[in-house]
Amino acid sequence: MKRDIDVLVSEVGPRDGLQSIQTVFTTDGKMEWIRSEAAAGVPQMQVGSFVNPKLLPQMADSAEIVAQSILIDGLTVSALVPNMKGAVNGLAAGAHQIGVVMSVSEEHNQANIRRSVQESLDGFAEIVAYRNEHPEYKDQIISGGMATCFGCTISGPVPVKDVMKVAEGLMERGAQRLNVADTVGYANPKQVRDLFTELYRTVGKDVPVGAHFHDTRGLGLANVFAALDAGVREFDSCLGGLGGCPYAPGASGNIVTEDLVFMLEAQGMKTGVDLDGLLQAREIMERQLKGEPVHGTYINAGPPKGFTPATHAA
């Protein structure tokens, strides 16, 4: 299904949100959430992560979740993978897109996946080669995910040139798209506009680039605005801003999907997403939480008087 949208909203809650809270959703519970959000018009969802289930029990049913999600009409299903083993499983499960993630910060990459950035780039090339050797996977997209692009909790500031080096390395090794993540919520709007401007200069305007912001310091939507200004048209977000940051107690997680959709629609940018449907999905998600906080402001304030979402405008 081809959608008439200006900006792609990619829900990452079933992965990023769930992996950073205590509650473990049942497979049926996750599917109820995913189905309700897809029914609200969300075009893309990252539904799981192919990691060691001993480390992340919340993600242990990712293969089953992907298998059920790809049956939902019109939904692009993505999954996160840290390495070849995850990629093998993610491709076999049928994910339309797998995001192979590495940190731009050398220290963060070592701490997280015990590899140097160069080793991660080599690993990325092996994953692309594996996909290419299997004709049955030829339509499955491999995205290069870059974490800690705006700063790192271990090493501090991350130079823009380091991000460009990794971006070029990923493109040379066959990445079909890129995802730029502010993993720990350090980014500010000026930094965001500068980085994406430089990124398009480096890899070209034709490469699809997604942005992944956390609202840790309240700058999430301001960063979206700056990224829009630089030309980004794809954003990760999480319903109810579920999740947090293990390094910042009480901090909120990803930018809030319903607040993001409101902002885009209010600015005249079509997302294809229905806000009422999104709030229904949020309720389905929230019902399953065991006391974990949720975030967002649209849920409390509702639409302004006379508000017409761009998606519904004739």
Contacts to Zn ion by CB under 5 A: 16
- 261, β-bridge pairs: none
- Cβ proximity to Zn ion: between 78 and 311 the closer is 78
Q: How far is the CB of 71 from Zn ion (least distance, A)?
A: 26
Q: In terms of Cα–Cα distance, which of 115, 207, 107 is closest to 157?
A: 107
- Cβ proximity to Zn ion: between 12 and 275 the closer is 12
Sign of torsion over alpha carbons 233, 236, 239, 244: negative
Q: In terms of Cα–Cα distance, which of 47, 39, 43 is closest to 19?
A: 47
Residue type, 15: R
Q: How far is the CB of 227 from Zn ion (least distance, A)?
A: 15
CA distance 36 to 20: 22
Q: How far is the CB of 303 from Zn ion (least distance, A)?
A: 28
CA distance 293 to 94: 32
Sign of torsion over alpha carbons 90, 92, 93, 94: positive
- Cβ proximity to Zn ion: between 16 and 234 the closer is 16
Q: How far is the CB of 192 from Zn ion (least distance, A)?
A: 15
Residue type, 143: S
> Of 149, 152, 238, 245, which is the active-site residue?
245
Q: In terms of Cα–Cα distance, which of 78, 19, 68 is closest to 43?
A: 78
Nearest-CB residue for Zn ion:
16
Q: Could you give the maximum distance between any two Cα atoms of the chain, in Å?
A: 55
Q: In terms of Cα–Cα distance, which of 203, 198, 196 is closest to 234?
A: 196
DSSP assignment of 134-180 equals -GGGTT-EEEEEEE-TT-BTTTB---HHHHHHHHHHHHHTT-SEEEE
Q: How far is the CB of 51 from Zn ion (least distance, A)?
A: 14
- Cβ proximity to Zn ion: between 93 and 180 the closer is 180
Residue carrying the six token digits 């995913």: 34
Task: Tell me whether residue 245 is one of the annotated catalytic residues.
Answer: yes
- Cβ proximity to Zn ion: between 16 and 215 the closer is 16
Active site residues: 245
